Amino acid sequence: NAGVTQTPKFQVLKTGQSMTLQCAQDMNHEYMSWYRQDPGMGLRLIHYSVGAGITDQGEVPNGYNVSRSTTEDFPLRLLSAAPSQTSVYFCASSYSSKQYFGPGTRLTVT
Amino acid sequence: TQLLEQSPQFLSIQEGENLTVYCNSSSVFSSLQWYRQEPGEGPVLLVTVVTGGEVKKLKRLTFQFGDARKDSSLHITAAQPGDTGLYLCAGALGGDNYGQNFVFGPGTRLSVLP
């Protein structure tokens, strides 16, 4: 099992550009989530999904969209990147409260 | 304002020393988790504590959940360089098994020097 995979590992965007961060898991977990991690802030929940076709907002959803068309994939879309979205993004899948995190995507918006 | 506070923020010790890090909140959690995160990687779950007063041991690591389920501590005995990393606590506010209501603390960055 590959676990949770994320692509790309690094990305630089200009303000106003859009992009999609990819996340996939092969553990057949129903629950998946996206977090951002900023220095001194811990991880903050952006969006989560309890199963295919179902998504909901977390603590900091503004500027991000998600969709869940399959159990395996949970992409995160930045609609119009802003410097405040410079961060490290982690995708996680979980079963019975055990969360498994991907390796992260480091995003810089200039 | 952070829902979960962690202390100390940074800790640098020599190999072989003991240490305790803390996770505190004014909120009650249905469960609390500890993670370790190494540079360039995602957090890895170490333990989940559920019952007030619960103590769990993982080799040289001892985790305790406060009686009121508002705080937790992580004690490391005879620290080794391999213990170096960012230790995060995360509290579950809801009673579900999916974990969507976990809130994370800012972390304690531990450095164990050989």
CB contact at 8 A, B8 and B69: no
**Do A42 and B99 count as a contact with CB atoms less than 8 A apart?**
no
- For tokens 């949970």, the residue is A74
Residue A50: list chain B partners with CB under 8 A: 98, 100
Tens-binned pLDDT, residue by residue, of chain A (110 aa): 789 999 999 999 999 999 999 999 999 999 999 999 998 888 999 999 999 999 999 989 999 999 999 999 999 999 999 999 999 999 999 888 788 999 999 999 99
The SS3 assignment for A29 reads coil
What's the CA gap between B58 and B60, in Å, rounded? 6
Mutate to test the interface with A, among B36, B102, B109 (most CBs of A within 10 A): B102
B52 vs chain A: nearest CA distance in angstroms? 18
CA dihedral B34, B21, B23, B75 (to 10 degrees): 60
> Beta-carbon neighbour count of residue A83 at 10 Å?
10
Q: Assess whether pLDDT exceeds 60 at residue B100.
A: no
Query: Tens digit of pLDDT for each residue in B3-46?
Result: 899 999 999 999 999 999 999 999 998 889 999 999 999 999 99
